Amino acid sequence: MTIGVVVFPGSNCDHDVYHVIKHVCGEDARFLWHKDRELSGIDGLVLPGGFSYGDYLRCGAIARVSPIMAEVRRFAEQGRPVLGICNGFQVLVEAGILPGALVHNRDQHFICRPMHLRVASAASPYTQGYAKGQVVNFPIAHADGNYQALPDTIQELEDNDRVAFRYARPDGTVDDAANPNGSIHNIAGILNAGRNVLGLMPHPERAAEPELGCTDGRALFMGMISNLVEHSA
Amino acid sequence: MSGEPQVTDELAREHGLTASEYATVQKILGRVPTYTELGIFSVMWSEHCSYKSSRVHLKRLPSTGPQVVQGPGENAGAVDIGDGMCAVFKMESHNHPSFIEPFNGAATGVGGILRDVFTMGARPVALLNSLRFGTLSRPKNRYLLNRVVAGIAHYGNCMGVPTVGGEVYFNPTYNQNNLVNAMCVGIGRSDRLFLGQAKGVGNPVMYVGARTGRDGIHGATMASEEFGENDEKRPTVQVGDPFTEKLLLEACLELMAADHIEGIQDMGAAGLTSSSCEMASRAGTGVHLNLDLVPCRETGMTPYEMMLSESQERMLLVAKPGHEDRVREIFSKWDLEAAVIGKVTDDGMLRLTFRGETVAEIPAQELAEQAPRYERPMQVPGYLEAVQALDVDGLPAPGDLNAVLEALLASPTIASKEWIFEQYDHMVRTDTVVRPGSDAAVLRIKGTDRYLALSVDCNSRYCMLNPYTGAAIAVAESARNVVASGARPLGITDCLNFGNPERPEIMWQFAMAIEGIADASKALDAPVVSGNVSLYNETLGMGIYPTPTIGMVGLIENGRQPVTIGFKDDGDLVIVVGRNQEDLGGSEYLAVWHNREQGVPPQLDLGMARRVNDAILRLMDTGCVKSCHDTAEGGLAVALAECAMAGGIGAQLGLATHTRLRADALLFGESQSRFVLTVAPANRDVMEETLRECGVPFEAIGWVRGDRLQIGIDRRLSVDAALSRLASIYRNALKDQLEGRTA
């Protein structure tokens, strides 16, 4: 099985995701250049963090028209796994593969720190390794992670159990004090209707090894991988 | 060239060349220079590029050792970190631009130091910085800090290189001259380092990266002058584009993975001029550039402007013959330009042609290496005697030592820098094992069992009071920081920030600081492999405190695990290693509580410093050290508070004055070569035996316990504070002061 890691000009968490899939999870990983139009042999996709095209415009606004994005859309529509982390989430939102928008953090600063998240839904390949309500810790590192959407969209996400993670206090309380960036309903990550696409601002790949002080993120990748193994079996 | 100004003595003077320097130029050329040549000489012989005031002193710095892979003189230095790998690193100043335009000044400082490292063929893995500002009660300084931090974050975060550590100091001496020193560390293969050499006569010289614009012309000259009253300097600051630099980084590393180039150098200060003539000079060759082929951002650019532009994100390289197309292909993949603009020649000349005319013809070696060197006059500054006089017995003893501790924790120089480092992505690349806020930042080296420990240090108040001791302490302190993490010091880079070298007092400070660095570097086995000098940090005749910033690289190896500062478990034994002395001179306590920057800096016994460092590492090898922290600003009390706050657990401790020390000196004095560490009670014997064998003084002072920090002196409880209260002061002080609220 091979997970493709999409490299846009300016991606900078591509090596980190590759490392976790290959050396922590023990699966095959391959870098995909943003000009590639061929995904044969790829079983799952990760759009990593970074500053695609420098993000001088709205984050992800240029990356969404990269040649590979048509393939990513087709891949997602086929119900195959697509994971967008940080800038990858922003690109998925800009491409309309996930709903809503990610705007400037409410205090206008870039924020990098470990962050507690409450697992809002365990019903997806990515979150099946967690219990609903479980508190995990993945770091955040972004300036534009403030998730916003129209009320109908939020309603739809909430009604269909499509919020995957919310920013929370260490005890799991979801409130404004635990919200680092102003996201509506403390939303840190969401699923598409088919539950095969996850976009999240926090970085599970930075919390997947004991040496880095936290291994909570490993289950997210393992969930994505084990789901693929089940399907191919 | 037609249409260019006639070069006269007057014009040479306007370009910052003295009469004798201009005479030397004419002697080298055997004629009056062209306008373009004058521009080239003026930037290459500026203080910033030529080190003309500092060079005679710099050669006293030790730069050799078995661990040194690349010493000074190249784009960056390198030390061996095992398995054929090396750490490539350098620190550089961007002080003048960061005062004029703090956001882009700081951002391009980061961009420049990154290029210095990846031009050697190493992938940058960490950024650090040393920032110094005036007092935060002034709105201008709050603005400068905000924008400098935002600029560093902008560039480093986008590049995907974690900003893992640094230091931030506040002192009125920096009110008109803030300092921004940026350090980059990369990892490369020792047998695959690329040098800035134009080798191979006939080889193509290629220009890669961003186009050349009119930005930053005379930036190097600007950095070689004092600021006056109403100077308009903004147009000399460049605008950074980290996205282009990220592409340049990836393209260069892809290029270097194959065998396509002979040499490469970044276009930093003095851009195309310094890169071309230095590469030729190092290789003993010449370079002929056809300026019609230089990719320009603007139309109508003259040779003078092209050669002096400091547009960012550009590199000059010498390709192997026949490899031009492959170089173009790789850069085109990354949407970057690569153009052949000339070739390597055998006549030692930097020759420039434009529209069929030769516009400059200068012997490259003379231009790069024969810059004037000055043995500038030196004189002991008159202020010294007055500031060094400190009558300790006349200092009123504070009644409430709790209040002193709280005031020190709220001092922005000591307070938590969380507000700053959380704006930097300090985790990208997933190697950051010890985050900012500890003694040293620690990064794992993937695929090995080793770690890099990195630290940046300088207490410039000590250096003002005694530049020799102050500079030596900067080295000793940075060594202690990496030792506290479990690392052996490997090498240092220095960034020497001083005032106007034409003043004998400043030159004396500089020379003394060099002596201090040299002696400490030898004693602690940490050679100086790279560095930078920034002079003329003066405004209206007021120079900054001498600030020789030291960047240290250490290696944790042999299976040793990184150690952090936080107390770990209830009941652990707290030990102070080193000797408490009456070192109140130059202390933060004296400045914050008594409002005096006086005295002589703490005594530094380099032999003892080395012995204590070795003892700590030996003790760590027994596996019994649970936490370790060195003492620095704020002395023992602040160090203990930091250990407790980091671990979220208090301590019950007892100290003794032995009737020879004042209580405030014991708590807040800044004696050197001291560490605070903890061991499990069961390991007390091992600890005592090991430290005794090493011949270093130590004392068990109490236990990790509870949720208060309690320190008794001679059996009287002197400090007794809830940890939560101390932590709240420590964590909020900087943010509050930045938002205009006083602590």
pLDDT category at B739 given cuts 50, 70, 90 is: confident
The residues of B carrying an active-site annotation are 48, 94
The pTM of the full predicted model, rounded to 2 decimals, is: 0.96
Q: B697-715 pLDDT, tens per residue?
A: 999 999 999 999 999 999 9
Quick check: is A185 catalytic? Answer: no
CATH code at A220?
Answer: 3.40.50.880
CB B310 within 8 A of CB B215: yes
Mean pLDDT computed over B273-295: 95
Interface subset of B 463-522, CB within 8 angstroms of A: none
CB A157 within 8 A of CB A67: no
Q: Quick one: which of B403, B119, B408 has its CA closest to B264?
A: B119
CA B648 to the chain's CA centroid: 31
> What per-residue confidence (pLDDT) applies to B225?
67
**Minimal C-alpha gap between A105 and chain B (Å):** 12
Q: Which residues of A touch B242 (CB under 8 A)?
A: 51, 54
**Alpha helix ranges (H) inside B440-576:** 460-465, 467-484, 504-523
Q: What angle do CA B376, B380, B382 make, to 5 degrees?
A: 125
Integer CA distances (angstroms), B602 to A208, A217, B484, in order: 44, 47, 20
> What per-residue confidence (pLDDT) applies to B743?
46
A111: left (phi > 0), else alpha (psi -120 to 50), else beta?
beta
Q: A180-199 pLDDT, tens per residue?
A: 999 999 999 999 999 999 99
Quick check: is A25 catalytic? Answer: no
Mean pLDDT computed over A142-170: 98
Q: What is the ipTM of this complex?
A: 0.97
> What per-residue confidence (pLDDT) applies to B466?
98
Mean pLDDT computed over B663-687: 97
**Minimal C-alpha gap between B427 and chain A (Å):** 7
> What per-residue confidence (pLDDT) applies to B189?
97
**Minimal C-alpha gap between B434 and chain A (Å):** 8
Chain A residues with at least one Cβ partner in B under 8 Å: 9-10, 12-13, 15-16, 19-20, 33, 49-51, 53-56, 109-113, 139, 141, 143, 203, 205-206, 209, 211-213
What the block records as the tokens of B477 is: 């302190």
Amino acid at B239: V
pLDDT category at B2 given cuts 50, 70, 90 is: low
> What per-residue confidence (pLDDT) applies to B220?
58
- The SS3 of residue B471 is helix
pLDDT category at B270 given cuts 50, 70, 90 is: confident
> What per-residue confidence (pLDDT) applies to B465?
98
Q: Which residues of A touch B429 (CB under 8 A)?
A: 15-16
> What per-residue confidence (pLDDT) applies to B269?
78
Q: Quick one: which of B438, B264, B252, B281 has its CA closest to B348?
A: B281
Where is average pLDDT lowest: A79-93, B158-172, B222-236, B407-421?
B222-236
Residue B596, pLDDT above cutoff 90 = yes
Catalytic residue among A34, A116, A142, A203: A203
Report the domain count for chain A: 1
State the count of interchain CB pairs (< 8 A) between A and B.
78
> What per-residue confidence (pLDDT) applies to B223?
61
> What per-residue confidence (pLDDT) applies to B235?
60
Residue B3, pLDDT above cutoff 80 = no
Share above pLDDT 90 across residues of chain B, in percent, rounded to a whole number: 90
**Minimal C-alpha gap between B554 and chain A (Å):** 19
Q: Quick one: which of A81, A80, A106, A92 has its CA closest to A52?
A: A92
**In terms of residue numbers, what domain contains A112?**
2-232
CA distance B727 to B405: 12
> What per-residue confidence (pLDDT) applies to A138?
98
> What per-residue confidence (pLDDT) applies to B560?
94
Q: B33-81 pLDDT, tens per residue?
A: 999 999 999 999 998 888 999 999 999 999 999 999 999 989 999 999 9
DSSP E strands, B370-502: 432-434, 441-444, 451-457, 488-497
Q: B501-544 pLDDT, tens per residue?
A: 999 999 999 999 999 999 999 999 999 999 999 999 998 888 89
Q: B336-388 pLDDT, tens per residue?
A: 999 999 999 999 999 999 999 999 999 999 999 888 999 999 999 999 999 99
Half-sphere exposure of A227 (CA within 13 A, CB side): 23
CA distance A11 to B333: 15
> What per-residue confidence (pLDDT) applies to B542?
83
Q: Can you name the residues that pair with A137 across neighbouring β-strands? A: A116
Q: Can you name the residues that pair with B38 across neighbouring β-strands? A: none
Closest residue to A206, CB basis, from B157, B159, B427:
B427
Where is average pLDDT lowest: A77-91, B213-227, B297-311, B357-371?
B213-227
Backbone angles phi, psi at A83, to 5 degrees: -115, 125
Mean pLDDT computed over B90-111: 95
Residue B325, pLDDT above cutoff 70 = yes
Mean pLDDT computed over B179-202: 96
Q: B142-183 pLDDT, tens per residue?
A: 999 999 999 999 999 999 999 999 999 999 999 999 999 999
